[in-house]
Amino acid sequence: MSQATTTTDHNVIRKWAEARNGKPSKVKTTEAGGILRIDFREPDEGLQEISWEEFFATFDRSDVDFLYEEKTAGGQMSRFNKFVSRDD
C-alpha cells in the first residue's frame, strides 16, 4: 500500500521533485504569484517554468502543504503530488 506524506520543508520538496526530473512551474494564466505545479515532462503549454526561489516564495505565501508519495502501491517511484490547505 502506498502512503502520501505532507511537508513544508523546501529541501524535501526540491529533492523529491529533482529525483523525478520535475521542474518548478506555475500556471501561466494566474495572477498574483500563480498556482504552483511540478512539471515532469516536456514543458506544458499552460505552465511557465520558474526558479526554485520564486516557487518557494509563492509556496510560503500560499499557506499550503506539499502532499507527495515516494512510491506507488506497486513499489515504483511515484510522481503523485499536490498542494493542499495547511491544517491549523
Confirm whether 85 is domain-assigned: no
Which H or E run includes 58?
A: helix 52-62
Q: How many domains does the chain have?
A: 1
Query: pLDDT of 21-73, one tens digit each?
Result: 999 999 987 666 678 999 998 777 889 999 999 999 999 999 899 999 999 99
**pLDDT above 60 (res 88):** no
In the three-class reduction of DSSP (H, G, I as helix; E, B as strand; rest coil), residue 59 is classed as helix
Is position 73 within any domain? yes
Question: CB atoms < 10 A from the CB of 36, how many?
Answer: 22
Residue 32 has a pLDDT of: 61
The CB-side HSE value for 59 (13 A sphere, CA atoms) comes to 25
Q: Is residue 88 part of a domain?
A: no
Distance of CA 21 to the CA centre of its chain: 12
Q: At what angle do helices 10-19 and 52-62 cross, to 10 degrees?
A: 130
Domain that holds residue 61: 4-80
Answer whether residue 86 is part of any domain: no
